[in-house]
Chain A
Amino acid sequence: MAKVLLEARNIVKHYPVTRGFLQRIVGWVRAVDGVSFSIEDGKTLSLVGESGAGKTTIAKQILLMEKLTSGNILFQGNDVYKFSSAQLKKEYRPKVQSVQQNPWSSMDPRMRVREVVGEPLSVNTKLSKKEIADNVGQLLEQVGIDAEGMNRYPHEFSGGQRQRIAVARALALHPSLLVLDEPVSALDVSIRAQIMNLLKDLQIQYNLSYIVIAHNLATVRYMSHSVAIMYLGQLVEYGESEALFEKPLHPYTRALISASQLTLPEDAKEGTKQIILSGEMPSPLNPPSGCRFHTRCTEVMDICSKEIPENKVIGTQHVKCHLYR
């Protein structure tokens, strides 16, 4: 087994809801509520779920943009909250970089590409201007952009090219982990495949680990080694990608898979018939009792609204559902 690079242990993030002039706290949004997972060297973990599931909140915690309510994040076995600020700046932040969803808003339109990609280098290293420019040229060529392009502005590039530039910027400090928040969902179909292939190539070349946040399961299957399915701030199913797609255990996973299949209705085999869930995701302000999914589940039982399902390990999969006891 490969070495574990990053581990999240029972992480919880609650946001206060305030009201009135005195900002009284009237409730808590339970965005992430007890989630554990780990990422190995050179592997990809995908976080999948609908909006409001808590995927992006997890990304923010890993990038240390916010402080956890409780739980631990371990980087190469060390608790990141015990790092000193100097250590964080040297040993954590350069190693954990991110690529955002929308390449139109993730870059300063008034900076040249040379500055956009070179900024992490000028902030974190003592390289000279000339050395930075050389580095930027190399980085751009790695992601398939002509080095000459560094003197142009972001608006002169197409969406796919800008996403490549964003990847180059993330690679500037030789990170070991990239947090990719919906890296291809803003791009056109024919461009998506290019970027996904590029990310895969870079992963092998540099032994990078990825956390991919996505809502499209087909994208996820192509990219990832392991998958975590999230619903209302919790993992409902987590495990190796192959096993999870071959034999999804949780009813929510099955519904998601059914919703992203690309098959003609007449070709759908018996048992792979489309599952259409009723209702919508409840508010994380006041999640349902017992299993959080019971209000929409197609296989709901009496116990589901009463008891919180325990984590059950079946093969390589972790599942939280009363169907498996």
Chain B
Amino acid sequence: MSNVVLQVENLHTSFFTRLGEVKAVDGVSFYVREGETFGIVGESGCGKSVTGLSIMRLLPEPGGEIIEGKIILEGKNILELSKKAMRAYRGKMISMILQDPMSSLNPVYTIGDQISEAVKLHQDLPDNMVEAEVVSALRLLRIPDPEIRTKEYPFQLSGGMRQRVVGSIAMSCRPRLLIADEPTTALDATIQAQYLALFDDIQAKTNVAIIFITHDFGVVSRICDRVGVMYAGKILEAAPTRDIFKAPKHPYTKALIDSVPRLEVKDERLYSIEGQPPSMFRLPPGCRFRPRCPVAMDICGEQEPPEVKLNEDHAVSCWRVK
């Protein structure tokens, strides 16, 4: 495989609560290549955000812990780094965009201050060069009048512009990997379309690898090259976006795609998946999707299905797939 920037192997992340251990991420493996966008799709509570936070090593402490697995960034397992060494990686090699720009920006600092903080931390530059870097970061995200914007505060910007500023901070040190956790969920439809177009643009200019975490298949269809479908802590199917839409193999992927209303077709009735995702405290034995699966067999309740590789990029965990 060429140019793999990030390789996650058998990642297990748990939270230890008063009520017991929650295996939020329960054996997840995937990789992202240079210049590629890998989508992680799933419903709330499936562990997609925890996967992102694990890669950043920003799990809430105490409570969250990476139990086992490897996170290999550019050939180096970052789980072996000291806290201090990790701090040098974060922002420089990997950065993250969160869902709500109003809570990821500091209301009392100007936009310029907040971007230059990251630049100064990771690059040894004289002041006038820092300023140039800040302006170029704003330009990368197509923010109009960047020289004026650097002196403004977050409250002076609209939601879409704020999210662009967050993107500028994330991209200011030209990281190798960008993790975007539902960055467009808080935005309106037409603003979301603008923001997604920016991602293509950034990727073309910087060749950054992107992990795009979302629950929205519309977003996936637009910008992801490959997708992993996550359910109750596991990636059940990972494949190129086209295959996920055109030839999904896992019953959950099929059901999820069928239950999304399509603009192009007028359905009389939507397909719906019965029941709800299992409690993370009491996962069912065997395959975790079995209680809701329309094609479950006896073996599904007994043993967890192994991952079957259909080809280099398409992997499925289901007893029905041989």
Contacts and interface: CB of A to CB of B under 8 A. Distances in A.
A276 B271 contact: no
A217 interface: yes
Interface of B: 43-44, 158, 160-161, 188-194, 197, 215, 217-218, 221-222, 241-242, 245, 255-256, 259-264, 266-267, 269-274, 276-277
21 contacts: A50-B189, A160-B276, A189-B217, A190-B259, A193-B261, A194-B273, A196-B261, A196-B270, A197-B272, A217-B263, A218-B260, A218-B262, A218-B263, A222-B261, A259-B193, A260-B189, A263-B264, A264-B221, A276-B190, A276-B193, A276-B194
Q: Tell me whether chain A's interface is mostly helix, strand or loop, or mixed.
A: helix
Nearest to A48: B189
Nearest to B266: A221
A142 to B, nearest CB: 17
Contacts of A280: 158, 160-161, 191
Given A189-B256, A256-B190, 9 more contacts: A160-B276, A194-B273, A215-B188, A221-B261, A221-B266, A222-B270, A260-B218, A262-B218, A275-B193
Interface of A: 50-51, 158, 160, 188-194, 196-197, 200, 215-219, 221-222, 242, 245, 255-266, 274-278, 280-281, 296
A218 B261 contact: yes
Contacts of A245: 263, 266
Contacts of A217: 189, 263
Contacts of A281: 188
A219 B261 CA distance: 6
A48 to B, nearest CB: 9
B307 to A, nearest CB: 23
A253 to B, nearest CB: 11
B261 A256 contact: no
A245 B264 CA distance: 9
Contacts of A51: 188
Contact of A262 (B44, B190, B221): B221
Contacts of A260: 189, 218, 263
A264 B271 CA distance: 21
Given A190-B259, A221-B266, A263 B276 contact: no
A232 B318 CA distance: 49
Given A255-B190, A277-B193, A194 B272 contact: yes
A197 B273 CA distance: 12
B215 A189 contact: yes
Nearest to A158: B276
Contacts of B262: 218, 262
Nearest to A242: B266
A6 B160 CA distance: 36
A281 B193 CA distance: 14
Nearest to A190: B273
